[in-house]
Amino acid sequence: MAHILREKGFDARVIRGGLNAWKKAGLPLEDIPADDMVKLPTFARR
Amino acid sequence: MGNWAETLARHGAGLLFALCLVEALGLPVPAAVALLTAGALVALGKLALLNALLAGIAAFLLGDVVYFFLGRSTGWWLLGILCRVSTNPDSCILTSAEAFYRRGRAVLLFAKFVPGLNTMAPPLAGSMRMPFVQFLLLDLAGIILYVGVYIGVGFAFRDLLATLLDTMGRAGNVIESILFLAFLAWVSYRLWLTWKDRVYRAVPRVDSADVDGPVFDVRSHGYYDADSQRIQGSQRLEPNSLPDAIATLPEAEKIYLYCT
């Protein structure tokens, strides 16, 4: 995706090591807001 | 009846168990051929029917239960891994889950007969929180059907199978050459992919501490599990909606992308 964005003129960079490296560095995280969650079907009894 | 059948006859149910377990764990092992051969060996009195049935059923059940609990404990992570071979992992997870849900739990009854689905169904059932006892009963029924059909066909068509195995035994060198060429083709394909994707290595990478602009989360499965987290202040950039999202991205500053 970064490559596609760069081709379209954006100055896109990739965070080395991704979320895992960010966590290891002790940098701040947040819970994903409920509205952003993708709701997949489930067989769990409600 | 060929070297393969003799090997299976010599090692019996233990080898059948091992082959079926390896296939249940997703590796490309022809367990169906082993079950067909086992059926023929049963017909010839070289393998006990009960041992063959129990070996196949126990192996598939063990593999499926392992994948079920892996799916349950890792949420959608395992499915994300299995979907990596797909050209579109996001779409793979969504369509797999929705198709499984739409067709209902009965999918487990015939999943073993469908390549791909046989590996995906148990972790899907786990990820989708299917009650374990229900999974166990349906999966067991599907396994009994699968093992029974293949052993039954091997039993009924033992003469035809013996001819085929004899032919395969005589054509051993040709088959080895074909397999070697297939392996070479696969290695060449991987090398070509590596060469083709070299442009992606040109994208600048930065350490977490050096990020000083808007951050976008491009993970394929990070937004499915209730307890998921992301980098503080980041926004989701969903790969499938990239053409629409591009209009909203800042053009004048650096933007940072991350995945798992």
Q: Of A1, A8, A13, which has the smallest distance from its Cβ to B204's Cβ?
A: A13
Q: A–B: how many Cβ contacts below 8 A? A: 142
- What is the predicted pLDDT for the residue at A6? 86
Burial class (CB in 10 A: 0-12, 13-18, 19+), B70: middle
- What is the predicted pLDDT for the residue at B9? 74
Nearest to A29 by CA among B249, B238, B206, B217: B217
Residues of chain A in Cβ contact (below 8 Å) with chain B: 1-6, 8-22, 25, 27-32, 36-38, 40-45
Residue pLDDT tens, chain A, 46 long: 888 888 888 899 999 999 989 999 999 999 888 777 777 777 766 4
- What is the predicted pLDDT for the residue at B68? 93
Contacts of B182 (CB under 8 A, 6+ apart): none
* Cα gap B85→B99, rounded to integer Å: 18
Helix (H, G, I), strand (E, B) or coil at B235: strand
Dihedral angle at the C-alpha atoms of B79, B34, B17, B51, nearest 10 degrees? 140
CA distances from B40 to B48, B49, B169 (A): 11, 10, 16
Contacts of B212 (CB under 8 A, 6+ apart): B254
Q: What is the pLDDT of residues B33-74, one digit of tens each?
A: 889 888 888 888 888 889 989 999 999 999 999 999 998 888
Could you give the count of Cα atoms lying within 13 Å of B172 in the half-sphere of its Cβ?
Answer: 6
Q: Which residue of B has its CA nearest to A12?
A: B255
* Contact: B258, A18; criterion CB under 8 Å: yes
* Cα gap B127→B123, rounded to integer Å: 6
Residues of A in contact with B254 (CB under 8 A): 11-13
Residues of B in contact with A16 (CB under 8 A): 205-208
Threshold 0.90, pTM exceeds: no
Which residues are B229's β-sheet partners?
A31
Q: Which residue of B has its CA nearest to A34?
A: B226
